[in-house]
Amino acid sequence: MLNQDRLLTQTHDYRLRDDVDINAAAPAPSVQWYTTALPRAVLKALARRDDLRAGQNYALWLLLLLVSGALAYSSWGSWWAFPAFALYGVIYSSSDSRWHELSHGTPFKTAWINESLYHLCSLMTLREGIRWRWSHARHHSHTVLVGLDPEIHATRPPNLFFLLLGWTYMRAGWMELCVLIEHATGRINRDAALYVPRSQWPAMVLSSRLYLLVIVVAGAVCPAYDSVLPAMFIALPRFYGGFLHFTQAITQHIGLAEDVFDHRQNARTVLMNPVFSFLYSNMNYHVEHHMYPMVPFYRLPELHKLVRHDCPAPYANLRSVYREMIPAPIRQRREPAYFIQRPLPAASTTR
């Protein structure tokens, strides 16, 4: 069994450690994380999956994707194409939050619906599904633990240029394509080999080849039609339309504590308007999601009401987050040890 002291005895090196076999640990370190106590019956009700509620949400998203795509197609060649494709790109890129939810298998009660939509959204966001399912599972069991979490997006000191590139997806997208090509050739990426079980490697290679085939076909069709239009609907939207998703997602952990076993200190909950919450699949309730990741996204507002007494006050909106968050990485350039300390309720406990 891995203990907390061994997990955190390390230098400040953000490369994944290869001296511990996390997947073989039993029980997992996640049992050490702080959670707000809730009655078992309440948790069971919150974790219940509902095909109807999930289906209504995803059907609306797919309908909006089709309508915005039709508008974008009809506007091609005019100035109206700019706002039309921006709208399509934003809706398309919200596949990122849906990919995330589907990776947990929580939206739908019917497993094959979860799995089918998961790979669709993984392709749309250029994240090969098998590798990222295991990567994200490790992110949850080792959230912002340096050298153990493969999804830490801002190191200390941070690279401000790389952070700014996030709004274009250029760096992250290029890295995803490189790993996709690497796996498609049968070579396993060093980090992926640390968290993806060896039994899953053949499926990951096959999946990478299928994803890459779709991307190559979309690119090959462009010169055949003497137009970039096909790629404007597949793959490219993740680059030109991902700015809103990144604006939301970067608030999750940036500037907060590292190497603590309390999601109230390393994640944020932000209140958002209904449109933003829909596009973001309620991931603005991020402390709640990390505390109880098996609660479907459509029940996170209910969970928030039950645990908010034990958590830092939620941010009122994105503006309030950025007002606090922007100075943090700038200061960390001079003081890498600096982080934003989230105040806990007076009666709360820490772990």
pLDDT tens for 250-285 read 999 999 999 999 999 999 999 999 999 999 999 999
Q: Are the C-beta atoms of residues 308 and 314 closer than 8 Å to each other?
A: yes
Q: Tell me whether residue 180 is in a domain.
A: yes
Task: Tell whether 128 and 87 lie within a shared domain.
Answer: yes
| 214: in domain | yes
State residue 349's pLDDT score.
57
What is the pTM for the complete model shown? 0.91
Last residue of a domain, one of 191, 216, 241: 241
Q: Which residues of the chain have pLDDT under 50?
A: 1-3, 5-10, 25-30
Of 207, 241, 275, which residue is a domain's last?
A: 241
CA angle 267, 127, 141 (to 5 degrees): 35
Residues 215 and 125 grouped into a single domain: yes
Say if residue 237 is in the same domain as residue 260.
no
pLDDT reported for residue 88:
98
The answer to whether position 195 is within a domain reads: yes
Q: CA 204, 206, 212: angle at the middle one, nearest 5?
A: 100
Identify the burial level of 130 via C-beta atoms within 10 angstroms of its C-beta, where 0-12 means exposed, 13-18 middle and 19 or more buried: buried
Q: What is the pLDDT of residue 3?
A: 45
- Same domain, residue pair 62 and 194: yes
- Please check whether residue 121 is in contact with residue 133, taking contact to mean a CB–CB distance below 8 angstroms: no
Q: Which domain holds residue 345?
A: 249-351
pLDDT at 49: 97
